[in-house]
Structure 1
């Protein structure tokens, strides 16, 4: 029953009223009781002060001499039957010398500190010169008395006696108890009214909510033609209006989603590339017909029971079992997958679920068979041309040297022979570069690692280029850090560094500046070569490492370049698991950073 909001509302209202009345009652009754006692205390003090002012005998210093007259004064004084006065005089010890009690004769002469109706603490405090009062409950009785000890002072301020007065507080507590009964009755009536009103108010709230709930259940079952009646303009009415608005928006949204899903299904099924979705465990979630055909899954169900060897090969290629799905950067990438005579570029990236958690991978297959064949043909062409040209070039070189050694007198003949010799050298360099590229392509290069001082290696390279620097009057700025010996392939690394610095010299105008720095960081040797030369246009920077690619073909040939130097350098660094990073701005200069992995000796 209490699961209903109606009864929760009634209980809350009941508790609010009940708690409020309790708090108010505690405050009122506590205040009423305190005020009644305070009024009683003030009245008692006024009586005592009146007696002191009107009795000439109390003005005497020795009350023992006038004790009978003081008693007669108290007998004549009209005192309420609920009040009792004791006149106490200190003669060796405080004694009662007069009282308004009917049994005053038995009290006279008694020790005030041991009399049961007198609190000795208050008497002693009064003899200290202070007024004292306290509410005291009599022993073996339920009656509470208000006690006051009032000191009477002489002309010099010395206490000559104490007037002690008690008053029955029964009337005070009778008033308080009657007030409690009245408030309790009022509280019960208020609670009954609260329950009735709460029930009516809660019903007016819960009935429209119940109607909305029933309509929502119908919508959950797929029936979206649900509308609720709007019976008011308050929050409940606004809820009903928003529910009707939500119903219309939901119907429109579902229609739009169905349309978009239809579009996506059409695009997905008829796109040229194969698309496959797999979950974190490698299970196929969905795939378009192209992907199914590529993986030989056409006509089969997409589940683990129908995995083909191509699926296993794909999962091994991606290495899905070792994929770190927490690092997005490690997921995005592309690899090549060979199936029969076809080669596909496999691109993959993670997709997320509604909770923004990685749910799996989207894999795209792009047919790269033709590009792969052309690339193989190009590599074979380089290898074949290199081998075909090497023999005739060697023969021409031999004959040319022979003719030059025979000392032909004709200067023109020597000039032609020199040109032939230079061209042979150029062709030999070309063949050498082509052969080196071929070896790198087919991973035939044998790396001869040895202990090398990178500082000495860089010093030797700069020494080889010293003439080139002086010839163009370049300013060389060095920032060389002394590094320990490392184990690298000296010839390969020297070729890379020499090529980068040579290019900086070639493409920097006379009187230019070349900055070279040598540092190490995280097991990498960083060699940075910065020049203020002609720079490289932005559109050419992406292709600068391609074979035979030249930014300025005519100038490159004049400077003796083959267009293969940067390609060789890049492939050497890739084979060596290093990097070449180029950053250039046309007309301002170029910065090339060589990052060489090394092993400390």
Structure 2
């Protein structure tokens, strides 16, 4: 809990709000108090000038002026004193006032006689409670007869200020309660999705890549959740791909084991028979031929593996030459004619002159054609294979079409993968290692070309290869 972001947010927000509201309340109270006091002082000064306007025509306070003072006392709700130049109080707005004859402080008298107004919280002899008092000159212009004192009890001001203080206090308490509710909700709205993100991230870390965060906010937290969901989706795809590749690799290892074990078992049996002297002289040559064929098959398998590893590690460097591809195509056709004839398959080579010159590695180009034709012959019975070479734009286009068993649509997307084999249910004579087409694709791309496949089950397959011509390569 001490590490809870909810608690930290709540405490920090509350301290900030309470401190802010407290400072605002104190400032409001101070400025309100000052404003009310200043307003009252200004009001008393105006009232003092009004009193002076009524008595400034005489230096003596007669009966008529006394009545005027009493009237103004009731009108202003303020006690009025009149003092002379010596500071003696000569009249008040209350007839039974005991302060008549008493003196005002000399410092006040001196300031009033020079025409200044005096404002202060004063305690005059004869007044039982503090008053807010103002003193204005009595007379007109340069003829000052004394001063006029107006008293307003501070009790009324203090009551008003007390009510304001109470109002500010209640408003502060209400503000704190309201802020507490708002801050709690805000902290919860931040911490809750973060907790959900934390739980989801923990599940992702444990391998549950199907877990997602369900947050619809459009702020930074929502962006974070979206980013984590995108990462989870990518991890899920990677996991699916890893499982697929692991399955392909497992199948490949099983196939390689089978491909190696079968010829090794055959050769072991034949060698044991030869060692035991069970084979007559006239039958030995046939045994030697079989063992030679098996070693050739294993050698080809190892060569394919090494080629694929080098291609993937970019360790193969092409030795390119400007050549005419016609001779290589004729050589490859001749190489497979006999094997095709044994399966009652005819290989047809069509050269559409003139063919463009290509800048290629002849050995690797021959390997490309060899692997394509080998597959075509392997999976075609009682049919035909056509090889077509022609110019297309700035490319040499090679098409190898057969009337074999075909490739399904799902398999067409996977035949370029390493270790992948189509139709695992075929007989042993049609089994391979699943490396040929992977090698072909990488070699074609190494020549800056491209390769595609079109196929239909039971109809046949066509591979098309585009190799840049010399003009294009320049």
Same fold (TM over 0.5): no
TM-score under structure 2 length normalisation: 0.44
Which is strand-richer, 1 or 2?
1
